Amino acid sequence: LAYAQMQPGYAPPFGVYEWFGVNAPTDLITTPVTVAPSAVPPAQGAPLTPPLALGNTLTFLGYRPESDKDKAGQTLIVQTAWQVNELPTQPLSLMAHLLNAEGVPVAVGDGLGVPLDQWCAGQIIIQRHTLALPPETPAGTYWIQTGAYTFPDLQRLPILRDRATVGDRILMGTIEISAP
């Protein structure tokens, strides 16, 4: 089964793919990530180990780099894995941003690969994020963050630990970007 909706509208462009007889991914990186509010620099978060709850809607299970491109002007691809806990009450998007040390986005790969009307509680969603690195990106260390936000208000889902909000973004680690 494959379907692609390329016209943006109420939901971001998406593609749907279904594989039968495939279990949940077992090669996800689930080592501790950094969780922080978006108002603080990336390095000032708390280390937490997935799975991590995003409100009542999703659980972040882990991530997997799909490519090892690490030069300015190239494309970085990362997959994030999510479990649906309950259906969201409004449209949302899964984000992936490449951030500089101050937390300013350098590349953005937001989207939603599975439309909300196809979601069922208990499903696992793998989102493929494509981040085009601008050619003028200076060499250095960058953070890769993920999370979810709602439309049209662009409010990020809170990341919960013991029912308390600990941040609104998950920093999956750093990557060294070299000159083109």
Instruction: List, as one string, the DSSP characters of 34-67.
Output: EEE-TTS-GGGSEEE-S-EEETTTEEEEEEEE--
For residue 68, the model assigns a pLDDT of 61
Query: Which of the two residues, 22 and 158, has the higher pLDDT score?
Result: 158
- In this model, does residue 16 exceed pLDDT 70? no
Average the pLDDT over 75-86 and give the result.
93
Higher confidence at residue 44 or residue 17? 44
Q: Which residue has the tokens 């300013």?
A: 104
Give the pLDDT confidence score for residue 132 in this predicted structure.
93
Neighbour-count burial for 56-86, b at 16+ CB within 10 Å, e otherwise: ebbbbbbbbbeeebebbebebbbbbbbbbbe
Q: How many CA atoms lie within 13 A of 113 on its CB side?
A: 18
- The answer to whether 24 and 128 have CB atoms below 8 angstroms apart is no
pLDDT attached to residue 20: 47
- The b/e string for 133-144 (b: 16+ C-beta within 10 A; e otherwise) is beeebeeeebbb
| Separation between Cα atoms, residue 127 and residue 98, nearest integer Å | 16
The two three-digit tokens of residue 115, written as one number: 């439309």
% pLDDT > 70, the chain: 84
Q: Tell me what pLDDT residue 116 has.
A: 83
Average pLDDT, the chain: 86
pTM of the model: 0.85
| 167-170: long-range contacts, CB 8 A cutoff, minimum separation 24 | 167/35, 167/36, 167/37, 167/38, 167/45, 167/46, 168/37, 168/38, 169/35, 169/36, 169/37, 169/38, 169/95, 169/145, 170/33, 170/34, 170/35, 170/52, 170/60, 170/145, 170/146
